[in-house]
Amino acid sequence: MDSGTLAGLPNELIIQILDSDPTSSQVARSLAGSCRRFHAFATPFLFRDVRLHSYDSAMMFFSVVFSQPSRAEYVRSLTMPLGRGFAQNTPDTNSSHFINDRWGLNWAISQSLKRMLNLEHLTFNYHIVDAVDYHNILERHTFPCLTSCELDVPGRFNKTIHDYDLLASFWARHPTLTRVFCPDFMRVLRPSLRISMPNLRYLEASPNLVPLLDSCALREIHAVWYPWQASASHIETVMLAMQSMTTNDIPFVASHDFFNLDACCAIVDSVSRNLPSTRVLRMRRIGQYNELQPLDNTMISPVTEYLSKFSDLMYFGIENRYRVMLGRPTRSTDYKLVEAWGNACPTLVACCLNSLAWVKLEGEWNIAPLDRFYDLVDAMHMEIRTPVET
């Protein structure tokens, strides 16, 4: 769509078109430079979805917003990827924007964030600001419309209870949150801490966080179980807490990453007893060399018994992180195990095992491309993420 096509349309209709177009930022960029008429109403769409992938791009963006504060209100999504890679880009002190040192950037970020009252999603890289400034952001900033966030705390091995308390207070100040990502290990959370998140739908975080949450609308979880977190008693505590956060009348999706097969069996066992109405259950093995090895089917045979306790399970997988596998193919033994799973849990329609997919067609299990399993699971994700009318 070019400016010539839009020239004969009224402004209100052009705005509606941009508002409904997922690529509106690219279209708005073309329109903004074509003429003054288009520039006026295309500008808000230029700032709607902001993705900053380098230190210098962050300095440029926050220079603009700091010097023109009204533009902060246009931002709906602000993404600065987590991880140290972002901070490896050094600022360009010869660039034309006026923020040319770290202190100036810290100040501009803090002041600009205060004005982003319409922000709906925030992914914030703490490496771009000093620890004190990041703490101030967690402690003092509030975004009335925030529904999704991906945040971490400074440091890797020297995190303190105070650090996590600040992050918890940020979550608690935003009851509008429906999606929370926190890739941190979370070793030092206070057991007495309670975080109210009444609208939480999706959680991707350490299982240590789950027992501390007060929620009743959880539909999907992705947890990573490190060896020190995967004791049978802790798994049971987490699953009981998860049970209190879900309802049987809404399909539930669970994805659990594990390091050893004993943990895998313990997790499936606990899920089957505490969350029997789970619709999708994905178990993914991680941990360097093991990720490339076929699973030992004899080690996961107890899973067959656990599957019989599920009432609505449709998609189940025990898979490795990578699709490339070392060792001999195991299709024949995999088929026998998948067939046993299907007999134990008649509601199953698709499985994933050793980087192969199995789909039930007319009562028979047939091998299928792995992407077929992912497509079926993605369709269930879309169903679950669709708001329920009340």
C-alpha 117/C-alpha 75 separation (Å) is 8
Query: Of 388, 390, 353, nearest to 373 (Cα)?
Result: 353
pLDDT for res 388 = 46
pLDDT for res 383 = 65
Return the axis-axis angle of helices 161-172 and 131-140, rounded to nearest 10°: 40
Q: What is the 3-state secondary structure (H, E, C) of 307-331?
A: HCCCCCCCEEEEEECCCCCCCCCCH
Give the tokens for residue 261: 């097969």
CA distances (Å), origin 197, targets 3, 92, 122, 173, 344: 44, 41, 17, 9, 36
pLDDT for res 253 = 94
Give 65's contacts (C-beta < 8 A, 6+ positions apart).
Answer: 47, 71, 72, 75, 108, 112, 115
Give me the half-sphere count of Cα atoms (radius 13 Å) on the Cβ side of residue 182: 20
Determine contact, residues 249/222, Cβ cutoff 8 Å.
no
pLDDT, tens digit, for every residue of 154-179? 655 567 777 888 888 999 999 999 99
pLDDT, tens digit, for every residue of 294-352? 677 777 888 999 999 999 999 999 887 765 555 555 778 888 899 999 999 999 999 99
Strands 148-150 and 179-182: parallel
pLDDT for res 174 = 96
CA angle, 130 then 134 then 135, to 5°: 120
Domain annotation for the chain: domains and CATH numbers: 248-390 (3.80.10)
pLDDT for res 353 = 87
pLDDT for res 147 = 96
Query: Could you say which residues of the chain have pLDDT below 50?
Result: 1-3, 88-98, 388-390
